[in-house]
Amino acid sequence: MFKCCLSIVYGLLVVSYTLPHVRAAPQDVPSAASFYVPSIPDIHQDPNNPLKIYAGHLSADPNITRAQSTDVTSHLYFVMIKNRRIADKRRLMFWFNGGPGCSSFDGLMMEVGPWRTDGKGGFNVQEGGWEEYTTMVYVDQPAGTGFSYTSTDRYVRTLETASVQFLEFLRNFYEVFPEYKTVDTYLAGESFAGQWIPAFANAIIKSSLSVPLRGIAVGNGWIDPRRQYPTYIDFAVKVGLLEENSDAWKEAKKNTDDCVTEINKVQGHEPMQVKGCERLLLQVVKNQRKKVDGKDMCLNIYDIRLHDTVPECGMNWPPDIKPVTTFLGRKDVVHALHADAHPGSWVECRSGVHTAFYEKSENASITILPQVLEKIPVLIFAGDQDLICNYVGLEAMIKEMTWNGATGLGTVQTQSWSVNATPAGTWVTSRNLTYAKIFNASHMAPFDAPHVAHDMILRFMGFNFSSIFEGSAKIPSSLGTVKKPIFIGQEEAKPTTAPVPGKTPEQDKAMWEAYYNAGSAALVLILIFAGIGSFIWCRLRRRRLRLPINTNEEESIPLNASRHVEHERDPEAVAVDDQELYESRQRKGKGRATEPESQQVPIFDVGDSDEEDDRLHRGG
């Protein structure tokens, strides 16, 4: 009864708070209630305990007071999903996808969020989402990405401007949701967000916002190109895609050497991108080209266990991107998500945003990471089946990085890590840096291994497992010889330190290394010599799907989608709602482009998806 009334009140507020106000420079901060999303069409929630969702646009232009009323200024879009279970304390996490220009709906609808496609155009709630114990905020940034918007001449060109934009968004976020000002806060994301996240963390730490930032996490990140480019070949050899000293290897070696020569020419800063290396990724694995049923196929650069059609080579993956794009193209969905102010349709990755971002002379985030590590813990994680931002490159980066007084991890021991009695990966921590390798997972590791990824983030955030009695806390996991305490029935939860029977961590590690090498060797297929003239960045140029999805068995990754989720009422969340309702009543009153194509784009970007396609095969 109470719930129902709440929804009606919120509904009215949403209607009365018309969107043009959001688009123009708002004089007042909108109320939290105006962001409340009572329901989303075809998202099948537990009717008794629906997720608490807030979504909409917040201004991200610090100069807004100086803008003309007709200016289209930068507005970032977010979806916030409140934690649905209580843990030892409250936590808040901002999530970012990569690109530049890729929407965080990737994370929300395919990775760490609560929903997975039901195969019929809708979405089911599924276990494993990070909103279980943590309030998650998925941010579309920089402006122009996903449902965020700005005039195209305001697309950001540098990490610094992106940071300014995010900080302004954050300032407004805390105005709307002041109750989060004191909640432990984390930033997480993947791929090119390996650039965003350290920069944002650094900006937050140096700002006057006094955000209680407690850590950052980057999955398969693009952080240190100087180390990551040259290791493509090493990774390919390690996983059996290339045989050392074979003709294919010799050519890959030559391409790598050429790239290294180009990298060495870059002095005075750490490059974020090197022109002479753009094609290296595909050059190294071009022996993986093959014909299947008359179709040219190439390695999926995000998951080396899979192949994709040429020239997409992974852009068609994961298959969920198709239903997600269709869903987010629906007017009723856009309206429910408070995204009407965004012109045009949602695209996964907007090339205009990418084009405007001038990465060529930018200092990569590897120059910032050590400063961040002085202040807060950092988690670098990597799905081990990813090629584009593979773990070998990340390990090379860690080995050569100097932070907190030393270089590399030092003498700390890597531990085996298991979740649900299955080897999940390896784990090592040294001087505020944690590195976790996730077995059997792609570039989008949480897509393949949601429970493992969740266990990882809970561990990183220092959850007190002894004080969690519901949900994922029941999934056993262990790190080295230490098992996670499990609360069983009415028994008192006790941390146990019983050694894992059988193997030592080293034996375990050796066993899994062997397993992987054998598994990957099977992937070495007919060698077909061909070249692709496109360059591929970490999750850089994802396109709208046009081609039929390859539905062979290998690509239908089981997601263990569960229709039934036990939702716990979060008393704190209820309290917040009450307060918001109260407050809402009180306040109710109220590039420079690198390519000529951008110049043809109208000032106000309408999100034309066709622009995506040209960008894919630049240098074609």
Nearest approach in angstroms of CB 223 to ligand NAG is: 13
Question: If binding means CB under 6 A, how many residues of this protein chain bind ligand NAG?
Answer: 22
Nearer to ligand NAG, 470 or 608 (CB): 470
What type of residue sits at position 559? L
Nearer to ligand NAG, 257 or 513 (CB): 513
Residue 164 found at the interface with ligand NAG (CB under 6 A): yes
With contacts defined by CB under 6 A, name the span among 17-25, 235-243, 431-439, 544-552 that binds ligand NAG.
431-439
Peptide bond into 558 cis (omega under 30): no
Nearest approach in angstroms of CB 120 to ligand NAG is: 25
The string of DSSP letters for 9-41 reads HHHHHHHHS-HHHHHS--SSPPPGGGGEE---T
Helix, coil or strand: residue 550:
coil
- State how far Cα 475 lies from the chain centre: 24
With contacts defined by CB under 6 A, name the span among 119-127, 231-239, 257-265, 373-381 that binds ligand NAG.
373-381
Residue 481 found at the interface with ligand NAG (CB under 6 A): no
Spatial contact of 490 and 476, defined as CB atoms under 8 Å apart? no
From 264, 402, 407, 422, residue interacting with ligand NAG (rule: CB under 6 A): 422
Nearest approach in angstroms of CB 432 to ligand NAG is: 4
Nearest approach in angstroms of CB 212 to ligand NAG is: 11
Spatial contact of 144 and 137, defined as CB atoms under 8 Å apart? no
Residue 407 found at the interface with ligand NAG (CB under 6 A): no
Known active-site residue 191: yes
Known active-site residue 386: yes
- Point out the catalytic residue in the list 191, 351, 365, 520: 191
Nearer to ligand NAG, 62 or 119 (CB): 62
Nearest approach in angstroms of CB 398 to ligand NAG is: 15
From 161, 207, 246, 414, residue interacting with ligand NAG (rule: CB under 6 A): 161
Closest to 496 in 3D by CA, of 508, 486, 511, 509: 486
Nearest approach in angstroms of CB 449 to ligand NAG is: 8
Nearest approach in angstroms of CB 39 to ligand NAG is: 35
- Tell me which residue has tokens 């049923």: 293
Residue 440 found at the interface with ligand NAG (CB under 6 A): yes
Which residues neighbour 152 within 8 Å (Cβ) at sequence distance 6 or greater?
Answer: 144, 352, 356, 591, 598, 601, 602, 603, 604, 605
DSSP state of 363: B
- Tell me which residue has tokens 């022996």: 287
Nearest approach in angstroms of CB 522 to ligand NAG is: 12
CA distance 76 to 73: 10
Number of DSSP helices (H) and strands (E) in the chain, helices first: 20, 21
Q: Which two tokens stand for residue 53?
A: 């969702």
Nearer to ligand NAG, 145 or 584 (CB): 145
Backbone angles phi, psi at 570, to 5 degrees: -100, 105
* SS3 of 82-107: CCCCCCCCCEEEEEECCCCCECCHHH
Nearest approach in angstroms of CB 374 to ligand NAG is: 6
CA distance 79 to 213: 20
CB-count exposure of residue 294 (10 Å: 0-12, 13-18, 19+): exposed
From 28, 160, 374, 566, residue interacting with ligand NAG (rule: CB under 6 A): 374
Residue 63 found at the interface with ligand NAG (CB under 6 A): yes
Exposed e or buried b for every residue in 543-572, given b needs 16+ CB within 10 A? bbbeeebbeeeebeeebebeeebebbebee
Residue 467 found at the interface with ligand NAG (CB under 6 A): yes
Q: Following CA atoms 594, 596, 601, 603 in sequence, which dihedral angle do they give, to the nearest 10 degrees?
A: 60
From 464, 496, 507, 560, residue interacting with ligand NAG (rule: CB under 6 A): 464
From 12, 18, 39, 62, residue interacting with ligand NAG (rule: CB under 6 A): 62
Q: Please, which of residues 1-60 interact with ligand NAG by CB under 6 A?
A: none
From 26, 41, 423, 480, residue interacting with ligand NAG (rule: CB under 6 A): 423
CA distance 449 to 440: 8
Nearest approach in angstroms of CB 66 to ligand NAG is: 7
- Point out the catalytic residue in the list 320, 386, 448, 570: 386
Q: Please, which of residues 298-337 interact with ligand NAG by CB under 6 A?
A: none
Which residues neighbour 110 within 8 Å (Cβ) at sequence distance 6 or greater?
Answer: 116, 318, 320, 321, 324, 444, 447
Q: Which two tokens stand for residue 391?
A: 């773990």
Q: x/- binding map, residues 343-372, to ligand NAG, per CB under 6 A? A: --------------------x---x-----
- Point out the catalytic residue in the list 443, 454, 478, 520: 443
Neighbours of 491 (CB within 10 A): 8
Residue 499 found at the interface with ligand NAG (CB under 6 A): no
Residue 158 found at the interface with ligand NAG (CB under 6 A): no
CA distance 321 to 318: 6
Residue 426 found at the interface with ligand NAG (CB under 6 A): no
Nearer to ligand NAG, 9 or 376 (CB): 376
Spatial contact of 313 and 532, defined as CB atoms under 8 Å apart? yes
Peptide bond into 311 cis (omega under 30): yes
Nearer to ligand NAG, 207 or 367 (CB): 367
From 432, 568, 583, 595, residue interacting with ligand NAG (rule: CB under 6 A): 432
Chain residues in the site for ligand NAG (CB under 6 A): 62-63, 161, 164, 269-270, 363, 367, 374-377, 404, 422-423, 431-432, 439-440, 464, 466-467
Active-site residues: which are they? Answer: 191, 386, 443
